[in-house]
Amino acid sequence: MSGVDIAREAAAKEALKYVRSGYVIGVGTGSTAMVFLRELYKLIINGDVNNVVLVPTSTETEIEVVRLGLANLLRYPWQVDHIDVAVDGADEVDRRKNLIKGGGAALTREKIIDYWAREFVVIVDESKVFDSIPSKHPIPIEVIPFAWTIVKARLEELGGTAELRFGGGKRGACGD
171 pLDDT exceeds 60? no
Catalytic residues: 110
40 pLDDT exceeds 60? yes
Looking at the domain assignment, is residue 49 inside a domain? yes
Side-chain-side CA neighbours of 20 within 13 Å: the count stands at 6
CATH code, domain with 52: 3.40.50.1360
Domain that holds residue 119: 3-130
Looking at the domain assignment, is residue 113 inside a domain? yes
What is the maximum span of the chain, computed from C-alpha positions, in angstroms?
Answer: 55
Looking at the domain assignment, is residue 18 inside a domain? yes
Distance CA 110, CA 113 (A): 5
Looking at the domain assignment, is residue 87 inside a domain? yes
Looking at the domain assignment, is residue 60 inside a domain? yes
Say how many domains are in the chain. Answer: 1
Q: What are the CA-CA distances from residue 122 to residues 57, 66, 85, 87 (Å)?
A: 14, 23, 11, 6
Name the nearest CA neighbour of 57 among 106, 105, 91.
Answer: 106
Looking at the domain assignment, is residue 142 inside a domain? no
Looking at the domain assignment, is residue 53 inside a domain? yes
Summarised one tens digit per residue, pLDDT across range 95-135 is 898 988 877 677 888 989 999 999 999 998 888 889 998 88
Return the pLDDT at 175.
Answer: 42
Q: How confident is the model at residue 167 (pLDDT cuts 50, 70, 90)?
A: low
Strand partners, 119: 85
Looking at the domain assignment, is residue 160 inside a domain? no
